[in-house]
A = this chain, B = another copy of it.
């Protein structure tokens, strides 16, 4: 990958705490695990807020995880200069996840001046990315405002 992160895990966590305090309202549940060139991993520790009948993590929770993790992988690579805005998100729900920690691995597929396209794979924390255990897979497009002076 030719992408180079410009923020560290600590940078990101501090940015989130400052700008998105409400995302962890009711107790922190999102954690940035790692940042590598073109790729980040975020962990969600779901609790009762994220449940659906049948003890499964809800669809909106999986959407929010994919969307937030994709936002973070872009932030990590363009820096906190401009805020990327989701324009399209397509999500496939593959398997019902039980109430357990989930990882979301995001990969930048394209980082242009105006658009960024990201792939997000969600899977149980005790499994591998890209495997048979994925519970959801999304691709998303983000618009990068022109105020971004890259």
Residues in A lying within 8 Å of B, measured CB to CB: 1-3, 19-20, 22, 38, 51-53, 59-60, 63-64, 67, 85-95, 107, 109-110, 114-115, 117, 119, 130-132, 134, 137, 139, 141, 143
How many subunits of this chain does the assembly comprise?
4
The 9 closest A-B pairs by CB, nearest first: A60-B64, A90-B90, A94-B110, A63-B63, A92-B117, A2-B132, A88-B92, A59-B86, A88-B88
Partner of A109, one of B52, B64, B86, B134: B134
Note all chain B residues with C-beta closer than 8 A to A60: 60, 63-64, 67
Known contacts A51-B22, A139-B139: does B86 contact A89 (CB below 8 Å)? no
A95 near B110 with CB under 8 A, answer yes
Judge whether A141 and B109 touch: CB under 8 Å: no
Min CB gap A47→B, angstroms: 12
CB distance from A140 to the nearest CB of B (A): 9
Distance, CA A72 to CA B64, complexed state (A): 21
Question: Within the complex, which residue of B92, B139, B143 is in contact with A114, where a contact is CB–CB below 8 Å?
Answer: B143
Q: Are A94 and B67 in contact (CB under 8 A)?
A: no
A107 → chain B closest CB, angstroms:
8
A139 engages B137 (CB within 8 Å): yes
A137 to B130, CA, bound (A): 15
